[in-house]
Chain A
Amino acid sequence: MVSTVLWLILAQAAADHLLGRSYVDPGMGSQLIQFLIAGGVGLAFIIKLQWHRIRAIAQRLFRRSPDLHE
């Protein structure tokens, strides 16, 4: 009982720390999942933004040099 109350106080403090003034209940699970996926979707987002550059670099690396054609 005491431990449950302590956890709840900790949860409240964590939520205050993380979410500040938000009036919508963000849900504990909905916050946790964002920490889980943020790295992955963030990386995917960067790759998407830079995709043309990545492709250009890859093409340059793997393109055969002209003299090999001749």
Chain B
Amino acid sequence: MSSPLQRDPASFRDPSGYVLWHEGQVLRVVSPTYADDYEALVASGLLDVLWRKDWLVAHTEEPGAIPGAEGAYRVLRPRRVPFVSYPYEWCFGQLQDAALLTLAIQKEALQRGLTLKDAAATNVQFVDGRPLFIDTLSFERLQPGRPWAAYRQFCQHFLAPLVLMSTVDGRLGRLLGEYVDGVPLDLGARLAPLRTRLRPGLAIHLHLHARMQSSASAADAGRLARQRGIALRGLLGLIDSLSATVSSLAWRPARSAWGDYAATADHYSSVAAAHKAEAVARFLGAVRPGTVWDLGANTGAYSRLASQNGALTVAMDSDVAAVEANYRQCRREREIHLLPLVIDLTNPSAGLGWRNAERRALLARGPADVALALALVHHLAIGNNLPFEEVAAFLGDVCRWLIIEFVPKSDPKVLEMLAGRRDVFDGHTQALFEEAFSRRFAVKERVPIRETERVLYLMEAKDPCSD
């Protein structure tokens, strides 16, 4: 008989335990080898401190043995993260907040005789609009005198990409998809502008640190063995210095990028914009979704029609400046149901890491109850030469219900897109759009948007995706 338990394919590196899936719930199995550290963690009071601050995922201990997890020291049932995102999908502000949370937790741990043994960015997830540390087994007892084992990992996962995003280009966070254990420090140091060498924190934690990676040799082991050890204040000083360095980084998106959003908003007359928003809200009210993916969400104006009614809404856009603006608004207004992410729909996140299974593909994280595809189709069909059938097939894979806006060739935005190129889009008509989509969806309602030639549709997927 096969066990209903499935081991999470991303959970294998840390021998302290592993993650199991049991009837749609997550279980964290604590190995006997981690028993002493686990008891020290419980006795330290750190869990309560971190839970009170909402920094660490809450869990309960399973009272009895779990069939299939025999031999476990403990089995924990943590709160489930409703939507898992990855660092290469985060904007600058999200990665910075995750970095500062990791450091704040390490500081609390050090003061209670514990330390983080790893500092991977994937230990953090965004839940209720804020970063949350999810790896409860990352703590171990602090061995007096020992350096921080996760220092290099922290600098690779957080510091190097943040420096590059801040000083070179906000899009460089995408490097974290290429390098799943963080941006190699020598690469980060090479790509960072010269002026970063003049900032003490970056000179030490990035440039000198990178240099020591390549220059440290086996011969340095002798020096290492002779060291007397690092005092607790040295470790706290290291965390304080990293926090100050990370906090000092800032990213201001190019002025033109911000300007473009205002221009987009101005593109509609106020009557058209209000009518579109009212129709989208009405469609959402009819479906009452639990999860919504807003595809091409820009700064999330329409995403909020869903999130403000309690639907967990993932606002995806390939423009990092738009996602940054959206995230800042979420934090400022303490929005708990909205998660902005950097996603390029023409190349959505693939399965990455070991056996392509450590980081899940975007499509494996769906389907959403509703997908919003507003002012999107012309970008895919004309901007990216995707036939309507392809767009319909993709959308049919990601949602159960679809709210989609058809934008005809006569629309000023499309005319703008076609201005500099040959028009090879004879098939871009409303009739052919409906024909292509009717293979995957049943059209429930169509609403022509006032003062435009655009049409908004509510469609239901014909072949509902299974959970």
Q: How far is the CA of A11 from the CA of B227 in the complex (A)?
A: 13
Contact A30 B209 (CB under 8 A): yes
Q: How far is the CA of A42 from the CA of B238 in the complex (A)?
A: 7
Given contacts A7-B221, A10-B222, A42-B231, contact A24 B237 (CB under 8 A): no
A54 at the interface (CB under 8 A from B): no
- Interface size for A (C-beta < 8 A) is 39
Contacts of A13 in B (CB 8 A): 221, 225
Contact A34 B216 (CB under 8 A): no
B263 at the interface (CB under 8 A from A): no
- The residue that B237 contacts in the complex, of A20, A33, A35, A41, with Cβ under 8 A, is A41
- Interface size for B (C-beta < 8 A) is 47
Find the B residue at minimum CB distance from A39: B234
Contacts of A10 in B (CB 8 A): 218, 221-222, 225
Between A12, A20, A31, the greatest number of chain B beta carbons within 10 A of the residue's beta carbon is seen for: A31
Contacts of B155 in A (CB 8 A): 30
Q: How far is the CA of A37 from the CA of B351 in the complex (A)?
A: 39
Is chain A's binding surface mostly helix, strand, loop or mixed?
Answer: helix
Contact A35 B230 (CB under 8 A): yes
Is chain B's binding surface mostly helix, strand, loop or mixed?
Answer: helix
Name B123-162 residues within 8 Å CB distance of A. 140, 143, 145-153, 155
Given contacts A38-B230, A45-B240, contact A32 B13 (CB under 8 A): no
Contact A46 B14 (CB under 8 A): no
Contact A29 B215 (CB under 8 A): yes
Contacts of B225 in A (CB 8 A): 10, 13-14, 17
- The residue that A26 contacts in the complex, of B147, B233, B234, with Cβ under 8 A, is B147
Contacts of B235 in A (CB 8 A): 38
Contacts of A15 in B (CB 8 A): 221, 224
Contacts of A21 in B (CB 8 A): 117, 140
Contact B153 A24 (CB under 8 A): yes
A8 at the interface (CB under 8 A from B): yes
A4 at the interface (CB under 8 A from B): yes
Cross-chain pairs A/B with CB under 8 angstroms, 16 sampled: A7-B221, A8-B218, A10-B222, A15-B221, A22-B149, A23-B14, A23-B15, A27-B152, A29-B213, A29-B214, A30-B152, A30-B212, A35-B147, A38-B234, A38-B235, A45-B241
